[in-house]
Amino acid sequence: MAYKNIIVDIEDNVCLIRLDRPDAMNALNLDLLRELGKALGEAQQNDKVRACVITGSEKAFAAGADIKMMSEKSFVDVFTEDLFTPEEQAIRRIRKPIIAAVSGYALGGGCELAMMADFIIAGDNAKFGQPEVNLGVMPGMGGSARLTKLVGRAKAMDMALTGRMMDAEEAERAGLVSRVVPAKKLVEEALAAARKIAEKGAISVMAIKEAVNRADEMPLAEALLFERRLFHALFATEDQKEGMTAFIDKREPQFRDR
Ligand code: CAA
């Protein structure tokens, strides 16, 4: 399907989604977020897709929620329409792995969108920030809740209260991003990581995503039990037999997602 605010390419079992509002630094308006949710939903349904990558331009992953779209809204408007809730849920519902490949600005909703992915690979020119305080508001898509879990209270407070940006190196040190690569190679590296995931068995990949995400939300004892039970359950799959036999036979496994 044709989109207006994103570009979608599927190749080698990976769905690459590029945010594409160059005149607005990829600011996230509702049309863009809805298209993104739709494209990810289609990727979830498409058997050829085994992993997704979301990226922006070299200058901006996304400079935040669209301020022009929000500026005239009242409390009643945003509360009644539940601004950003369905859009965030559409992304969180995806069970296939999602990598955010961030170059340039990832601010406000842009940083929050990156954090909705399963992990972030950053170009060495990436800048992360939650500057909503400068607009008289606060983060509204995870920039206080999710960011605190990822980088800890001190840095989350520092970023959200001062509105300062964090460069790629600091973001890696803080645990916000999994790795930093040269900006020119960002998409290539993210696609390579996605293709590596795409080679694995889809059932273990889905189970891992689910367990890590649950670990964020559950007390440790519950998360450990959830993990252990999923680990046990994977012994019911053919992929477990294949994976372990291939190791013993010193050959590459041929996973069949069963
Ligand atoms: N919303 C709407 N338009 C935006 C935008 C945004 N978040 N960010 C940038 N743009 C637009 C600018 O208005 C400008 O458009 P015009 O040419 O029509 O004026 C165009 O993109 C280019 O931007 P700049 O001229 O500002 O480019 P720059 O290189 O000088 O600065 C920037 C880049 C530092 C990213 C700066 O644009 C900026 O600070 N943007 C806003 C960042 C921000 O405050 N984000 C938080 C948004 S609120 C939010 O996200 C809420 C939430 O948690 C859900």
- Beta carbons within 8 Å of 176's beta carbon, 6+ residues apart: 115, 120, 128, 147, 150, 151, 166
CA of 228 to the centre of ligand 1 (A): 45
**Alpha carbon distance 117, 53 (integer Å):** 9
Is 194 domain-assigned? yes
Within a domain: 91: yes
Residues 216, 157, single domain; the answer is: no
104 lines ligand 1 (CB under 6 A): no
Q: Note the pLDDT tens digit of each residue in 124-163.
A: 999 999 999 999 999 999 999 999 999 999 999 999 999 9
Residue 2 — pLDDT band, cuts 50, 70, 90?
confident
Mean pLDDT score, 193-207: 98
Ligand 1 atom 14, closest CA: 24
What range does the domain containing 213 cover? 202-248
Question: Residues near 71 by Cβ (< 8 Å), separated by ≥ 6?
Answer: none
* 44 and 166 in a common domain: yes
Type of residue numbered 20: D
Rounded CA Rg of the chain? 19
**pLDDT at residue 1 above 90?**
no
Residue range 39-69, pLDDT digits in tens? 999 999 999 999 999 999 999 999 999 999 9
What average pLDDT does this structure show over 12-22? 98
Together in a domain, 43 and 161: yes
Residue where one domain finishes, among candidates 164, 181, 198:
198
Of the candidates 87, 112, 189, 227, the residue annotated as catalytic is: 112
65: annotated active-site residue: yes
pTM of the model: 0.97
- What spacing in Å lies between the alpha carbon of 21 and ligand 1's midpoint? 11
Ligand 1 lined by 109 (C-beta under 6 Å): yes
Of 79, 80, 135, 145, residue with least CA distance to 112? 145
- Check whether 248 has a pLDDT greater than 90: yes
**Ligand 1 centroid to 27 CA: how many Å?**
7
Write the ipTM.
0.98
Query: Does ligand 1 come within 6 angstroms of the Cβ of 107?
Result: yes
Q: Would residue 45 count as lying in a domain?
A: yes
Q: In terms of domains, do 215 and 185 share one? A: no
For residue 110, give the ligand 1 atom closest to its CA: 50
Q: Are residues 68 and 155 in the same domain?
A: yes
For ligand 1, is residue 115 a contact (CB within 6 Å)?
no
Report yes or no on 11 lying in a domain: yes
Residue 255 domain flag = no
Percent of the chain with pLDDT over 70: 100
Catalytic residue among 37, 109, 140, 142: 109
Q: How much is the pLDDT for 15?
A: 98
**Which atom of ligand 1 sits closest to the CA of residue 65?**
50
Please report, for the domain that includes residue 207, its CATH number.
Answer: 1.10.12.10
Q: What is the mean pLDDT of the chain?
A: 97
Digit-coded pLDDT (tens) for 107-133: 999 999 999 999 999 999 999 999 999
Q: Which 8-state DSSP code applies to residue 141?
A: S
pLDDT, residue 148, reads 97
Number of domains in the chain: 2
Determine, yes or no, domain membership for 181.
yes
Identify the pLDDT of residue 106.
Answer: 98
